[in-house]
Amino acid sequence: MLNIGDKLYRIAILGKMLEYQVLGVHMYETSTLYHVKCVSCTHYGDACELTLVESPTKGVYTFVNMLNNNCEDDDQSYWHTCENSTDKYYAKKEKALQRYLRVLMQDKNKDIEKYTALLETKRKEYERIKNDYDNYTNILNLEKEME
């Protein structure tokens, strides 16, 4: 269980390590919610404050909601929600870095699979065109022989 003043970490898009400080602990019958402040926020105005809940994996926390995202034309929730590259918050920096690297590897693996499939499709298209060319060339040669 976290206490007021404890730190949490996650790596946001582009590899920036974000640090969060626990401001409040709210215990309920079925869960405990943590009110945290992003001490790494660099945008203008107040630092982002969020609610997190501990996941079934000890030491791992997930985003619940933004508490102070009041500016509609400058939505800061993007930097803290699961829509971003790493969707978990960790009590240890090392775990945050491991998660970030795992997500990057998964993304690159998906790219490799996508481009491998595209390459195979392009090879088949090339072979079809080459066969059409060879067939056309053979027809032209036969026509010349028949003259």
Structure token digits, residue 115:
């481009």
pLDDT at 146: 78
Q: Within 10 A of 76 (CB to CB), how many other CB atoms are there?
A: 20
Asked if 9 contacts 25 with a C-beta cutoff of 8 angstroms, the reply is: no
CA distance 125 to 47: 54
20, 108 in Cβ contact below 8 A?
A: no
Instruction: Please list the pLDDT of the chain residue by residue as tens digits (147 residues).
Output: 899 999 999 887 777 888 999 999 999 998 899 999 989 877 666 788 899 998 877 888 988 888 876 666 656 665 566 554 457 899 999 998 988 888 889 989 999 999 999 999 999 999 999 999 988 888 888 888 877
Secondary structure E strands in 55-126: 60-66, 88-90
Structure-token match 């809940």, residue found: 53
- Check residue 91 and give its pLDDT: 92
